[in-house]
Amino acid sequence: MLTAEIRRRFLDFFERNGHKILPSASLVYNDPTLLFVNAGMVPFKSYFVGAEPPPAPRVATCQKCVRTLDIDDVGKTTRHGTFFQMLGNFAFADYFKAGAIEFAWKLVTGPQSEGGFGFDPDKIWVTVLGPGYHPDYPEGDAEARELWRAVGIPDERIQGRSLKDNYWNMGVPGPGGPCSEIYVDRGPDFGADGGPVVDEDRFLEIWNLVFQQEDLSAVRAKDDFDIARQLPSQNIDTGAGLERIAYLLQGKDNMYEIDEIFPVIEKAAELAGKVYGENRDDDVRMRVVGDHIRSALMLMTDGVAPGNEARGYVLRRLLRRSIRSMRLLGVESKVLPALLPVSRDLMSASYPEILKEWDRVSANAYAEEDAFRRTLAAGTQIFEAAASQAKGAGASVLSGERAFQLHDTYGFPIDLTLEMASEQGLDVDRDGFKRLMQEQKDRAKADARAKKGGAVDTAAFTDVRRAGESRFVGYSDLSAEGRVLGIVSGGRLVDAAHPGEIVEIVLDATPFYAESGGQDADSGILTANGVQLDVLDVQKPVDGLISHKVLVGEGEVRPGDTLLASVDPVARRHGAASHSATHIVHAVLRKILGPTAVQAGSYNKPGYLRFDFNANAGLSKGMREELEGLSNEAIDAGYDVTDTQMSLADAKALGAMAMFGEKYPDVVRVVEMGGPFSRELCGGTHVTNTAQIGMLTLLGESSIGSGVRRVEALTGKDAFAHLAKERALVATLADLLKAQPEQLEDRVGRMVAQLKAAEKEVADLRAKELLGNAAALAASAETVGSYRLVARQLSGVGGNDLRTLGIDLRERLGSDASVVALVGGTDDKPVVTVVTNDAARAAGAKAGVLVGVAAEKLGGRGGGKDDIAQGGGSNGAGAADAFAAVRAALAG
């Protein structure tokens, strides 16, 4: 049974049983505690904690997920994958344990001819919470055990397990409850008998049913928590692993051989001239390729671009591990153009958006492969320098610190370091490397826990949300009365706010726009008789609430009081103008660059905007001028700006642009400017006509990561002020140069040419002076091992002059094995040049390696050919250490 068919059967089954089918949320989900959606329940967290009402009492999804904590196990086990799909059915105050168990049993064991999965009922085992693991459950989950008996599972195939296995919570105070897991017996070929408690390879978990019924007041560990009370309503949260079900129903031994992954492995084997199944190490590498190519494809489809931080770093690592695995399989040529389209064709049946985004995705991926190939070339030089230094010091082991630096700083894979070290007769301190890697992981986990801990701070707002919600009236009104629903201070609800305090006020109605969608929050005041609060910030701490961070200036405020909320009209007008200008910039960029110029982020505030977009190359001067010109044409055209409420499906059919990672309701707001000119899903505030923007001035365009560019611009009076300042500068220059403004370009051009000529003349004189001293420098050569070495610091001398002098010195030193090492530049920006002659190179001295050794002591990097190489750094005081390192390398 194909994976797509399993997915369809699951959703059809629950749709027939009264569930609303929801699409998968983007992997880039709007949750500050997560890099990616890592479980099927993530999009429903706000419903489970009561922060907002669910879209229906019963829903079902097939959710895209990514987990990378166990990335090093990918390919080695039967079930570790970075991208996976989680089937789930959810009930909010609707059916509970009996319904969830009955649904799962019918689907899992139902005949395939009737839409079920067709698993043999005699092969099904289940686990429930066992007795004695928590004081509130002295008998364990006896109710779940009885319900499984009722559907036909004998008691010997129902096993009790601990809280770690069969109790679910979010890791923070909130909802929790026992869970029950469904396992399939794969048979004696896969392990020992005795159920999941004996062998979880033979007995494979395919589904987990979570029974949310308790409110936890404290969570110290997965198996250490306090239950405060029963939840007012019971919920069902289930998760079934689509890939696991697929490889069982397809008769495979592991998830890598299912229909959505294995063709990529076959292509990898073809490129490498290998046969899958003949060599375990090769098989692991091919499985890594199959898994990572699919994961990278899905992440890029959802808007992630390769980068050095957060999500971009994870994607970069997936792509580079794939390329590196193919290299270990013997493929040195480019591989992504052959592999990625295979995964595209496999996954687009379930996710047609892959085809829509393919041009952008493939361009980013192929550019990343080109960049990594350059990294491998540069990293090889860094490694050779490190190896040379280690051997020069008489060491036989490359330090864990150096291996970690190669991995973490230069993106050089550890397995490549191990391979190349072996070729050089060196071992690698693997324990030291693993220790540093673990420290990095621990820091990442601690950071994640810190972010997750932030969720505790929303508990007070969740309590407020249960009592009501905030209604935003700011599209039509800039002032409105609102009743205080709650006051939060230090993460806790308080009964009053007093003068001088900074607190957060939640109103039941407000005209203040809360920061979201890249738009800055409104500013203004909250007032009442004898009360004035200055609004410092406005946020949405939980869905459905708008919180005003205020400084209490006068009076006292209590829950239930009525306040007049007044938005600063000038700031709102200018902020709306910048937001509308952002939409115009987006539309114009897509006109210039095509549909691949998708928004990757934005920020706007009164008078200023920045807009990030996907592109693999910067904008030319002509493109920047076109962007600014067409944007101002759209402003001058006076397009009406309208907003319309419509269904999400209708909005997409209309062609409205949506942001990756944003969560949209069934009914959305579509903002249009000039009809089809700009049409986006947007909840922000806007002008009513583009002419109200006034004007737009482009400040610049730059790269902010691989495949992502950023433009910045000013709008309205800020744009005018910027141009006025530039006009004043032009007038000053014209006055200084005694020229008309239109003559400045020619006049300055001539001056620059004259300056360059003068600089060249000075450089020539300096070079002659240096060469005049060359004889004395050559005479000062010292003997190091079997080499003659000239090592000298020449402060103030630039790189070109060092190179010229180094070549001259090499000739003067004759046919003996000779090396020249020169450091010039300045204290904060030193440069280094290393030159070798034929005899030195024949003896093993390579300039490219030696310059790396020297540049490291200068706080920088270097590289080049075997005969001449250059580098630089940031610490000129390290020159003596640099020369010492070169001497040590030569002596070795």
Annotated binding site for Zn(2+): 579, 583, 682, 686
Which residues contribute to the annotated binding site?
579, 583, 682, 686
The SS3 assignment for 248 reads helix
Cα gap 495→480, rounded to integer Å = 23
* 3-state class (DSSP) for residue 697: strand
Structure tokens given for 461: 């707002």
Q: Three-class SS of residue 672?
A: strand
Q: How far is CA 184 from the centre of its chain?
A: 35
The gap from C-alpha 200 to its chain's centroid, in whole angstroms, comes to 33
Q: Which two tokens stand for residue 711?
A: 């433009």
Rounded Cα distance, 311 and 296, in Å = 11
* Cβ pair 872, 767 in contact under 8 A: no
Q: Taking a C-beta distance cutoff of 8 angstroms, is the pair 216, 225 a contact?
A: yes
Sheet-wide strand order for 868-872: 782-784, 787-793, 818-825, 830-836, 868-872, 861-864
Please, are residues 160 and 222 in contact by the beta-carbon 8 Å criterion? no
- E strand or H helix at 236, and its extent? strand 224-241
**E strands along 706-829, which residues?**
708-715, 782-784, 787-793, 818-825
The Cβ of residue 744 has, within 10 Å, a number of other Cβ atoms equal to 14
The CA distances from residue 88 to 58, 231, 624, in Å, are 11, 21, 47
Query: Residues 6 or more apart from 35 whose CB is under 8 A from it?
Result: 310, 311, 314
Beta-bridge partners for 519: 516, 604
Q: Of 227, 231, 225, give the one whose Cα is nearest residue 213.
A: 231
State the Cα–Cα distance between residues 308 and 38, nearest whole angstrom.
Answer: 21
Sign of CA dihedral 371, 374, 380, 383: negative
Of residues 209, 260, 254, 186, the one with CA closest to residue 4:
260
Task: Report the amino acid identity of residue 524.
Answer: G
Classify burial at 99, counting beta carbons within 10 Å of its beta carbon; exposed 0-12, middle 13-18, buried 19 or more: middle
What gap in Å lies between CA 695 and CA 344, rounded to an integer? Answer: 43
Closest CA to 786 of 841, 835, 834: 841
Find, among 660, 682, 662, 661, the residue nearest to 673 by Cα: 682
Cβ(678)–Cβ(579) below 8 Å: no
Residue with tokens 């009722």: 150
How far CA 507 is from CA of 196, 465, 527, 597, in Å, comes to 52, 11, 12, 39
**Angle, vertex CA 546, rays to CA 544 and CA 552, nearest 5:** 155
CA angle 36, 175, 149 (to 5 degrees): 100
Determine the Cα angle at 393 with ends 395 and 382, to 5°.
85
Distance CA 877, CA 859 (A): 10
Distance CA(707)–CA(363), nearest Å, equals 8
DSSP code for 557 = B
Helices (H), 335-413: 336-347, 353-356, 358-392, 400-408
The answer to whether 81 and 243 have CB atoms below 8 angstroms apart is yes
**What is the rounded distance in angstroms from the CA atom of residue 416 to the CA atom of residue 289?**
16
